Structure 1
Amino acid sequence: MTEPEEILRIASKGDGVTASGRFAWGAAPGDLLHEDGTLEWGHHHVQPPCRHFGRCGGCQLQQLDEKSLADFVEARASNASVAQELGAESITSPHLSPPGTRRRASLRAESSAGRVVIGYREARSHRLVELEECPVLAPELVVLLSPLRKLLIAMGKAAPMRKGAKGRHQQPRMAADIEMTLVEQGVDLGIRGLTAEGLVGTEAMLDFAREHRLARLTMDGGYGFETVWEPEPVTVRLGAVSVPFPPGSFLQVTLDGEQALVSAAREWLEGVSTVADLFSGLGTFAFALAGQGAKVLAVEAARDAHLACKSATERAQLPIFAMHRDLFRNPLQSDELNKFEAVLLDPPRAGAREQVECIAESTVNRVVYVSCNPSSWSRDAARLVEAGFRLVELRPVGQFRWSTHVELVSLFLRQ
């Protein structure tokens, strides 16, 4: 009989791996993988805290204890560095967001046979898992799920009947994307793919917003978000500034994760007088850096985010100049970058190949690179190293607890 093999590490997609290269889903380091594929739990394997784990595609790593989870997050960042031979001088212990701290969620809602299901897709499937609990999300978001199901059912019944394939009149099938974000005023709820039908539907939405004290309720039936309810302007706190929050805007998924990223940037850029903040969004880093005395150019392509940053800057009277510019199509050129002591960039998952090329050709000698994708980061980082930068420090951040999604913040200095 073949001896069981020990799980040595967790691969990038969450599977456990043995020395011989066998993979096992749901494994933890130290588990024993038997010939028939069954697992014998080791001392790093814990009982997953969520009843939906294994079906819901939102989490892949709930079986890991805290040490193994931290090791996975650190390895995702360090392996990206090693793969490109970046020679990181220091890799710090990772920051992990605690359970129940995720303040932003994108869910799917669909009706079937008179029921409404709200949740995430099953792993490798289009089927929805009806969320009855979620230890990742902030409690303020979870508590809305059941009332929201009832609201969507009521709205479906209020919708006009439509003729089906066999000529019978029936209720139309409902499908919508749900976006929930914790803002300063409470929960900002956006429903995409659905509109309130008639007076009954509109009143139901307003009653729901009032009863649950929503910060804002918006709906998008295909022509952009329309505000149904917003008692006062919705804002998020960035640094010491309340910044307008346009519907659907990007926000770091946990507050503590945002603070970990911002803290690194503030530390590494302390005393720097001029900074170009590229892919700046609402100004997460711009407001923090301006608050410690730097003059900041905040460059963002999304018009709503750019205008929100600009208006908050004008009210706060901070040394930030907000620029509306698509850095993929029109990156800041080397002669423009030469005016700054440092560059901070936080691009989307695809990275910033063209913009990094311009940074490499500039005279900038300090770069802080924030990334949500270690793979694209390592490619861009290799170009910086080729241009004479060295990777001084790398800090992994696990904001998406129990998932394989890992972020990082890094410091490059030109030699």
Structure 2
Amino acid sequence: MSELVVRIAARGDGVTASGRHVPFGIPGDAVLEDGALAFGKHHQHPPCRHFPECGGCQLQHADDAAYRDYLVSRVETALAQHALETEIRTPHLSPPRSRRRATLKALKLGNGVAIGFHGEKSHRIVDMRECHILRPELFALVQPLRALLGTLLKPKRGAEVQMTLLHQGIDVLLRHVSAEGLAAIEALTGFAMAQGLARLAVDTGDGPEPVYEPLPASIRLSGADVAFPPGAFLQATEDGEAALVDCVRECVGEERPVADLFAGLGTFALATRAAYAAEASRDTAAALKRASPATLVEHRDLYRRPLDTTELGRFQAVILDPPRAGAEQQVAQLAGSAVGRVAYVSCNPATFARDARLLIDGGYALDWVRPVGQFRWSTHVELAGSFSR
């Protein structure tokens, strides 16, 4: 007797009603008696030759409807673990070939260089020959990078390549690559000029050092040009950023003044004309301060020193966009504050749900959540949630 796959688990396996985990199963697929899958209507042919070997994607075999259901399920499951329910809005999906930042691994093997993402559940590099998630501008740089790193890396030595597409061009940060000696400097600057890079920086362990930057590298956020420090954080896709900004604006509404906590370069502070922003990275905080003189920007580690209830009392609305660990310390202070609205952007449904429970226990209502699939075909889920008193 066959079993139907009814959902996709957090790590991408299909799960039947009996709890059986089935690799590459999609809801609607049937698991036959011999363990083979009979594909249902939501099972699609993966577009990339590297799937499933490459760890950049886990769900290329799911069509858009199944992938949206997966994103909703991840959020519902995380909330349920804390006895929470709310409206889960239709997820936003970034289209293929829209990711504007990526970190690739490289390794010199023989006369060549392998460059790409690690294999699924492996440290082996899958040598990238096509990619359906990166912006074409980024993928076009992969082969030239092979040639460059072939001249700079010693045999069996690895490197990391961080690429970010700015409006001036591509910003490249190379880690574990030597920039010593005239020949190496000439190779790096020649590569940067030939590829029209916005900037090329190298980090040998003491922090990024630009070796080529014809004009100050910057990113445009809500109409403002913001200096972009090497290695800075940027939302993965432009459309995903716009979806999250729309969610934050809706949550905050006309409430003023607004505080943006874990503000980064000001993706949300600039969009909402925030009166105050806190950011732990000194260089990032300085970039936001220069771009938005009207915002009081504080270099502040909110894990060590969250805003207390007295400081929060200045604001009608607060925006949170913490790292994957969430914002438990700051949320505990918010729960005891009089702030009327909280917009919470998260890249981890589990820590979001934990923090949501604290806010709700402190008197907030979770009005709605919208999942955002910026990392298309991956198990990485982002979301925006709206809280109000």
TM-score, length-scaled by structure 1: 0.92
Shift of 1:172: 4.9
- Which one of the candidate residues 308, 327, 339 is aligned to 2:314? 339
- Which one of the candidate residues 270, 285, 290 is aligned to 2:268? 285
CA contact (8 A) 2:110 2:155 kept: no
Q: Could you tell me which residue of structure 2 aligns to residue 225 of structure 1?
A: 208
Q: Could you tell me which residue of structure 1 aligns to residue 333 of structure 2?
A: 358
CA contact (8 A) 1:280 1:298 kept: yes
Alignment of 1:8-407 (within 5 A): 8-88=6-86, 90-156=87-153, 171-290=154-273, 295-314=274-293, 319-407=294-382
CA distance in 2, matches of 1:296, 1:82: 35
CA distance in 1, matches of 2:302, 2:365: 24
CA distance in 2, matches of 1:269, 1:240: 20
CA contact (8 A) 1:184 1:236 kept: yes
CA distance in 2, matches of 1:376, 1:99: 28
Larger Rg: 1
CA distance in 2, matches of 1:406, 1:200: 43
Q: Could you tell me which residue of structure 2 aligns to residue 165 of structure 1?
A: none
SS at match of 1:121: coil
CA contact (8 A) 1:343 1:366 kept: yes
CA contact (8 A) 1:76 1:374 kept: yes
Shift of 1:337: 0.3
CA distance in 1, matches of 2:85, 2:44: 34
Q: Could you tell me which residue of structure 2 aligns to residue 160 of structure 1?
A: none
Q: What percent identity do the matched residue pairs reach? A: 50
CA contact (8 A) 2:98 2:237 kept: yes
CA contact (8 A) 2:109 2:155 kept: no
TM-score, length-scaled by structure 2: 0.98
CA contact (8 A) 2:324 2:348 kept: yes
SS at match of 2:230: coil
CA distance in 1, matches of 2:146, 2:160: 13
CA contact (8 A) 1:155 1:197 kept: no
CA distance in 2, matches of 1:23, 1:210: 50
Q: Could you tell me which residue of structure 2 aligns to residue 161 of structure 1?
A: none
Q: Runs (4+) of structure 1 moved beyond 4 Å?
A: none
Contiguous gaps of at least 5 residues in structure 2: none
Shift of 1:27: 1.6
CA distance in 1, matches of 2:286, 2:88: 36
Which deviations, in whole Å up to 9, do the C-alpha atoms of 1:372-402 show, x marking residues without a partner?
A: 0000000000011111111111111111000
Which deviations, in whole Å up to 9, do the C-alpha atoms of 1:147-180 show, x marking residues without a partner?
A: 1101111224xxxxxxxxxxxxxx5532111000
Shift of 1:264: 1.1
Which deviations, in whole Å up to 9, do the C-alpha atoms of 1:241-277 show, x marking residues without a partner?
A: 0100000000000010000000111122221120111
CA contact (8 A) 1:349 1:372 kept: yes
CA contact (8 A) 1:86 1:385 kept: no
